[in-house]
Amino acid sequence: MPELELLPESNLRNMAAKTLSSHRKADPCILVIFGGAGDLTKRKLVPALCNLAEQGFLPQQFALVVVSYTELTTDSLRERFAADMKKFALRPVNPSIATRLIGHTYYVRGEFGEAATYGNLKAALSDIAQQDNIPSNHFYYLAVAPRFFGEIVKQLGAAGLAQEKNGQWRRVVIEKPFGHDLESARALNAEIKQVLDERQIYRIDHYLGKETVQNLMMFRFGNGIFEPIWNRRYIDHVQITASETVGVEQRGGYYDTSGALRDMVPNHLFQLVSLTGMEPPISFDANAVRDEQAKVLHAIQPFTPEDVLTKTVRGQYAAGTMDGKQVPAYRDEINVNASSSTETFVAMKLLIDNWRWADIPFYLRTGKHLARRVTEIAIQFKRAPFHLFRNTPVDTLRSNRLVITIQPEESISLRFGAKVPGPIMQQGAVDMCFNYADYFGSAPSTGYERLLYDCMIGDATLFQRADMVEAGWSVITPVLDVWQALEPRDFPNYAVGTWGPKEADELLARNGREWRPMAAAQAAA
């Protein structure tokens, strides 16, 4: 009988490149970035466009227009972008690609609330379409403060820049935060839907640009061994962690009006909850996938005021030392109120009221200045029946654990028990780890490549729909209400470089559980 032939790893690394000949070509289009003179554009969006061009995903007929009130011209913007490409691109940019992108970059100066700005933009888009021979497909990226979202969409509508006709499309990409509570999210949805159809709105979450996040559906629904055990019968609980080692840095003014709960939970973490907990969609059509995600969010058990006190934890970091450097307390950060009650850490216990997940808790935590930068989903399975080992030296059985790491590395690892070699029965924990870089090579990515490409081809699968946004806010609004009514008495309550306040550990300890230890080994499960 012939031996099985394993697929060489070199072949695996080339698989992504082989798809280039068959991928859907993006339509010729013009990307308009409102607020494009800021950090997001130079650090993320322009490097992402360079990567797309390098990989063959950017259409040949493409132009970039920046709209901002900054004192710039098209020539000075091009000079700035040329320097930014060298500084912020994740790898050296092919000179022909750099020349192509910079040569098709344009600037329109104006205030976002003035009609004249949109008249000038309309004229510029018409000139660019004729000059660069680009059909009139536009997508507008709102890289601006949230207070401008509704105003810009209204002005686009008034100027006729949002109207689709003659087969030409218009799409609007909106950054987070989408509202600051349920009422404001509903109001913003209503405002922009006076101008745009839902299919034209792309509410972006850069977490969903990560390969490992996208791989969740492939992992669950493309492998026969995992989906049958992905339920309350076999899983004890789920932990989702999104921790950062940095503080608020220069974002104190924004962060002090937002906090960790608004900043991370209804968008990033709930997206991970919905992808982890969703039922198999009938297809990978955008609405089929988002229908199932929305069902999970709607099924989250609502928080009563008593639940907020027992199932949520908030924290704020104190001064301390990290990596040998003195770190100020949150209240001493720039543009932060000296008596601020804004939380920089959140932990909570969610229950999902459906057939698959009834009584299985989802534990979430996120925070600033924690022990490690990591985003992961840990699936803790139930322990195997113990009676078989009662007359052996094995005094306890370890549970199996599956860990899907999203950042800083992208990997999937599985921990299970194995017999320790020797004459007696002893169990040891072993790990099997799949790392993306080892199998498919390391392709530098900002996380925005897939999202920009999907917007160009009209695939909204990885973008939040209005009902998903409102469902997320409906879950956390009761928490916001209680926290606003009851000022924290113990802030600051955790040291920098730790895993948050002790109450976060107690949240799990009440049910005999604990957070997955992550300080020892970066890649261990």
Q: How many residues does the chain have?
A: 525
Structure tokens at 172: 């609007």
Instruction: Give the integer Cα–Cα distance in Å for 505 and 509.
Output: 6
- Specify whether 268 is catalytic: yes
Structure tokens at 48: 């992402």
Catalytic residue among 268, 298, 369, 387: 268
For residue 462, give the nearest of 278, 279, 207 by alpha carbon.
207
Instruction: Give the integer Cα–Cα distance in Å for 188 and 162.
Output: 17
For residue 344, give the nearest of 326, 366, 363 by alpha carbon.
366
Instruction: Give the integer Cα–Cα distance in Å for 222 and 230.
Output: 13
What pairing do the DSSP bridges indicate for beta strands 312-315 and 345-351?
antiparallel
Sheet strand arrangement including 105-109: 105-109, 62-68, 29-34, 138-142, 170-174, 201-203
Residue 440 CB coordination number (10 Å): 16
Instruction: Give the integer Cα–Cα distance in Å for 275 and 271.
Output: 6
Strands (E), 143-208: 170-174, 201-203
Dump the DSSP string for 272-298. HHHHHHPPPPSSS-HHHHHHHHHHHHH
For residue 466, give the nearest of 195, 169, 184, 203 by alpha carbon.
203
Instruction: Give the integer Cα–Cα distance in Å for 68 and 77.
Output: 11
Q: How many helices (H) and strands (E) does the chain have?
A: 17, 16
CB 379 within 8 A of CB 229: no
Determine what percent of the chain falls in helix, strand and coil, rounding each to the nearest 5: 40, 20, 40
Look-up of token digits 């132009």: 63
Residue 287 CB coordination number (10 Å): 15
Active site residues: 268
